[in-house]
Amino acid sequence: MKLLKRFLLILLIAAVLAFTLLCVSTVFIMHSQFPRYDYPDRRFYTYYRYDPDFIDSYPRENVQFTSGENLLQGYIYGADNPDPKGLLVFAHGLTTAHEGYIDQLIWFVDQGWQVFAYDATGSGTSEGSGTVGLVQSALDLDAALTFAESDDRLNALPVCLLGHSWGGYAVTAVLNFDHDITAACSLSGYAYPIEMLDVGAEFTVGKPLAGVFHPFAAGYNRIVFGDNAGLNAVDGINKSGIPVLVMHGEHDDFVVYDRVSILSKQAQITNPRAEFVTLTGEYATHNDFFNSDASNEYIKAWNEQSNELAEQYGGKIPDDVRESLYSQVDRTIVNDINKALLEEIDDFYTGAIFK
């Protein structure tokens, strides 16, 4: 009997230790998966930035608003457009900030929009030690829309939403809140944060361990986001009843096209005004469809050259050599956008506004 009690006690202690280890590991993993993102060193960045590439031609106004405990930095482009089509509110993806899409945002300004973009929690010029989690983008967008509704310069315009990836989820999940939105377009968005976390865990630790990780990730998500932990794209689209355009690349292996994308949940979406477009072709991946084919082909060749150089230096290219490599990039080609995609989105918004 004493041996049995001792054995059971050892099992209990082992179980408690294992549970504690898994809890601690979950916190560590989640923090490591959602770190802070700062704008990259301009020497090693091939895409345009607002300064110096657009600052002289496109004035912007800086605004600030709070999301939770953090002060977020927002930017209004096209405030001087004389008769704007509407207000386009943009939500960016993870591991970037809004200027990662500056070419596309300026294109919309040229089409007559006022554009309200911002750097989300833990990103770019905004506060936050990290990006927190997959639900955070919807909460930041909710805060941005609340700010826009309080600003007399913005609240008289019809509001359309555009988001990519983390932001693609945000522009649909935020429809669970009570904002007056005319239309929304989601690019590469996931439908359910927990489902996306599960897929991410499979990529990181493998499928068997991902199953063990699931309840801890779900618990962490609940602790961090509370009542908002269950915010999802499907409920938002169905609740809103507004025109929603969902676009997703057929080769997206990050927000996996046929598993976690909003587009893969069409059977669950009852909103008759929702439209679904599968992006096709070689560059219909998670990000590449933003660029023209010529841009993508140039970038592919440049990446091959960069990889060869990295191999030559054992994976660590000296800064001076790397800077020379980046200085040779034809930034005009790199920043050549997919105008046909943007025109389709613009037409969708215009149709919703002037129906």
> What are the boundaries of each domain within the chain?
37-192+230-291+339-353, 293-336
146-162 confidence digits (pLDDT tens): 999 999 889 999 999 99
Average of per-residue pLDDT values in the chain: 91
Please say whether the beta carbons of 228 and 41 come within 8 A.
no
244-263 average pLDDT score = 97
332-340 average pLDDT score = 97
47-59 average pLDDT score = 96
- Chain centre to alpha carbon of residue 205: 23
Q: Is the Cα dihedral 264, 296, 327, 307 positive or negative?
A: positive
- Chain centre to alpha carbon of residue 69: 21
pLDDT at position 315? 82
pLDDT at position 354? 86
Spell out the residues 6+ positions from residue 56 whose beta carbon is closer than 8 angstroms to its own.
none
Alpha helix segments (H runs only) across 185-330 = 193-205, 207-225, 233-240, 293-312, 319-327
156-184 average pLDDT score = 97
Residues in a beta bridge with 246: 186, 276
pLDDT at position 314? 87
Is the pLDDT at 3 greater than 80, yes or no? Answer: no
348-355 average pLDDT score = 92
pLDDT at position 298? 96
pLDDT at position 136? 98
CATH match of 37-192+230-291+339-353 with 3.40.50.300 = no
Phi and psi at 17, nearest 5°, equal -65, -40
Q: How confident is the model at residue 216 (pLDDT cuts 50, 70, 90)?
A: confident
Is the pLDDT at 42 greater than 60, yes or no? Answer: yes
Please say whether the beta carbons of 98 and 72 come within 8 A.
no
Q: How confident is the model at residue 355 (pLDDT cuts 50, 70, 90)?
A: confident
Name the 3-class secondary structure at 23. Answer: helix
pLDDT at position 33? 79
Name the 3-class secondary structure at 323. Answer: helix
Is the pLDDT at 10 greater than 70, yes or no? Answer: no
Amino acid at 133: G
pLDDT at position 104? 98
Q: How many residues does the chain have?
A: 355
pLDDT at position 219? 86
Q: How confident is the model at residue 25 (pLDDT cuts 50, 70, 90)?
A: low
- Chain centre to alpha carbon of residue 185: 13
pLDDT at position 110? 97
Q: How confident is the model at residue 82 (pLDDT cuts 50, 70, 90)?
A: confident
pLDDT at position 199? 85
pLDDT at position 22? 56
Is the pLDDT at 202 greater than 90, yes or no? Answer: no
Spell out the residues 6+ positions from residue 221 whose beta carbon is closer than 8 angstroms to its own.
133, 134, 135, 193, 194, 197, 229
Alpha-carbon span 26 to 311, nearest angstrom: 34
Count other C-beta atoms under 10 Å from residue 330's C-beta. Answer: 12
Torsion (CA) 18, 23, 27, 33 in degrees, nearest 10:
60
* CA distance to 45, 70, 220, 319, per residue, from 327 (Å): 9, 36, 44, 12
pLDDT at position 120? 98
Range with the poorest average pLDDT among 4-8, 109-113, 191-195, 303-307? 4-8
Range with the poorest average pLDDT among 14-18, 89-93, 144-148? 14-18
273-303 confidence digits (pLDDT tens): 999 999 999 999 999 999 999 999 999 999 9
Question: Percentage of the chain with pLDDT > 90?
Answer: 75
pLDDT at position 352? 97
pLDDT at position 88? 98
Name the 3-class secondary structure at 102. Answer: helix
Alpha-carbon span 20 to 13, nearest angstrom: 10
Alpha helix segments (H runs only) across the chain = 2-33, 50-53, 102-110, 136-150, 166-173, 193-205, 207-225, 233-240, 293-312, 319-327, 331-334, 339-353
Is the pLDDT at 13 greater than 70, yes or no? Answer: no
